[in-house]
Amino acid sequence: MAAYRQGDYAGALREFRAEDDPAGAFALGVMQYKGEGAARDPAEAARSFRRAADHGHAGAQYDLGLLYLKGEGVDRDYREAARWFRLAADQGYDKARYNLGLMYAKGDGVAKDRSEAARWFRLAAEQGYDKAQLDLAFMYLKGEGVAKDRAEAFRWLRAAAGQGDGEAELCVGLMFARGIGVAKDRDEAAAWLKKAADKGYARAERYLKELE
């Protein structure tokens, strides 16, 4: 890692290849995937990730799941992607929990199950993962996989917006403007819509003009 931090990618590769532990195999896979110190090689990255993943490395399990999801370095296989995401998710890896939730929401590699999707989204959302907070909020707005609850939707949107998610800021602004899940508050609406508009959300600019 010292060699890697100093930009000595060739030296880091040699060291990681020599290490016989999951962390070294994972780091090697990351470098192979990015093309650091050698030509980019997703297939080699997949092999390195698998060595680490087979020894329980959550980050490697997640990244291997991504390769199967995208079909990079391995044949695309949603079932394998879901399997590796679940192993990482069971270790508390927030992004894996979120991606597993997406797979249940879409029925990719697993039977479509909105309730199960909401469960995984909630686990990731409770860890502070903004994308999960956003998708869980939409499920509460629509009543998909959970009982429709606008106040709960607002709570999760507010959590994501507090982390700077532009879409969540837009939605929070609209909910304040229209009194959805929260009491109407024009000033709060304008403040959140302005945040989203500053991130390039054209709809936020339109809604701001409507408030004027």
> Rounded mean pLDDT of the chain?
94
pLDDT of residue 147: 98
18-72 pLDDT, tens digit per residue, is 777 898 899 889 989 999 888 899 999 999 999 999 999 999 999 999 999 999 9
Please tell me the total number of residues recorded for the chain in this structure. Answer: 212
- Residues contacting 178, CB < 8 A, separation 6+: 184
* Under 8 Å between Cβ of 26 and 14: no
Report whether pLDDT(136) > 90: yes
Distance, CA of 99 to CA of 121 (rounded, Å): 8
How far apart, in whole angstroms, are the C-alpha atoms of residue 41 and residue 24? 17
Residue 100 pLDDT > 90: yes
pLDDT at 9: 72
For each of the domains in the chain, give its residue range(s) and CATH number, in order of start.
130-212 (1.25.40.10)
pLDDT-based confidence at residue 138 (cuts at 50, 70, 90): very high
Burial category of 23 from C-beta neighbours within 10 Å (exposed 0-12, middle 13-18, buried 19 and up): middle
